[in-house]
Amino acid sequence: MKIALNGTVMESGEAVISIYDHGFLYGMGLFETFRTYGGRPYLLKQHMKRLKAGCEAIGIRYNPDVNALQAMITTLLEANGLNEGYIRLTITAGIGELGLPSNDYEQPTELMLVKALPPHNERLYDEGKELRLLRTVRNTPEGAFRLKSLHYMNNIIAKRELLASGASASAEGLMVSHEGLLAEGIVSNLFFVQSDIIYTPSTDIGILPGITRQRVIELARERGYTVREGHYLYDELLAAEEVWLTTSIQELVPVTRLTDEAGSSVIVGNGSAGPVLRELLLAYREDTEAQQR
C-alpha cells in the first residue's frame, strides 16, 4: 500500500520513523479514523477539531489543514486503486531526547494510512450483533477527558478477553467503569432506547467523545427525540427496547443479543433492528449522501 508520511507519498515499506520519536518511546500521539463516501471523508472538520484539541492538550503543535488533508486522501485513494477508503491519520510527537520533555513538541510526525473498507453486509443492520459484557474495566482517561491516543493497551486487553470468551465472530465487547457504570465498546460508543427516550453514557465517565456518537445525538434531537447523556448500569441496558453501537466505519449497528461475563444471553427487543435505530440509520445515510452533492 502507498501511504503518506509528512506529506510525501511512498510505499509503506519505505516509510521510516525515528526510534527517538516520542510516539514510539512514550506513546505521545493521537489518531483519527474515518471513512469516505463518494471519495470524500465524512465529518472531516469535526474529526480534525477533536484532533487539534487533543494535540493542544498534550503539547503537540499541530494545526490540521483540512483542504490539504482532503487532497492527500484523494491522492492516496487513487494511488491505491480505491474508490472508497478507511482512513487513519496519526500524529505523533516527533523526535525528542531520551527522557520526558520539558517543552512542547514543535515538529510532529504526520502519517496517513488507507485501506479498503470492510465488505458491506446489509443483513448486519437488520439482524444486529452480540454485545458481550467484559471483566476488563475501562481505564481512566489520560487527562480531563478521553483522548484518541496511542495508549491503546486497555482496548487490546479487552479485545483479547472478547476473543477468548466464546463470543460470536462479529461480537463487540462492552466495558464498564471502575464504578460499574456503562462506558463504551472496545471500538464503539453505546446507545439504548426505553420508552422512546434515547440514552447514552456521558463523557464524564471517561468514554471517548465519538464523532459519530455526537452526530447521531444531533440527528436524533433534530427529529424530536429526547437524548439523555448520563450514568447507567448494565441492568438498565437489559431492560432496553433497542440497543445500538456507533463507529465511523460501520455507522449505527443494532445490538440484538446481550451476553454477560458468565455467558448468559438475552435477546434485545424482538431480535432485530428497532424502529428508532432504523430511522436514525436512514437519517445518517442521508447525511452522508448530502455531502456528496
**pLDDT per residue as tens digits for the range 158-209:** 999 999 999 999 999 999 999 999 999 999 999 999 999 999 999 999 999 9
What is the pLDDT, as a whole number, of residue 54?
96
Give how far Cα 119 sits from Cα of 85, 159, 288, Å: 11, 21, 18
| The pLDDT value given to residue 144 | 85
Q: What is the pLDDT of residue 91?
A: 98
User: Three-state SS for 40?
Assistant: strand
CA distances to 5, 30, 55, 203 from 140, rounded to whole Å, are 31, 17, 19, 11
DSSP 67: H
Give the pLDDT confidence score for residue 291 in this predicted structure. 81
Long-range contacts of 218-227 (CB under 8 A, 24+ apart): 219/280, 219/283, 219/284, 219/287, 220/280, 222/283, 223/279, 223/280, 223/283, 225/196, 225/197, 225/198, 225/276, 226/196, 226/197, 226/198, 227/197, 227/198, 227/199, 227/200
C-alpha cell at 269: 427487543
> Hey, which residues does 125 pair with through a beta bridge?
none
CA 204 – CA 48 distance, rounded (Å)? 21
Indicate whether 147 pLDDT > 90.
yes
Give residues with Cβ within 8 angstroms of 228, minimum separation 6: 197, 198, 199, 200
Cα distances (angstroms) measured from residue 115 to each of 12, 35, 252: 12, 10, 21
pLDDT for the residue 143: 85
pLDDT band at 142 (very low <50, low <70, confident <90, very high): confident
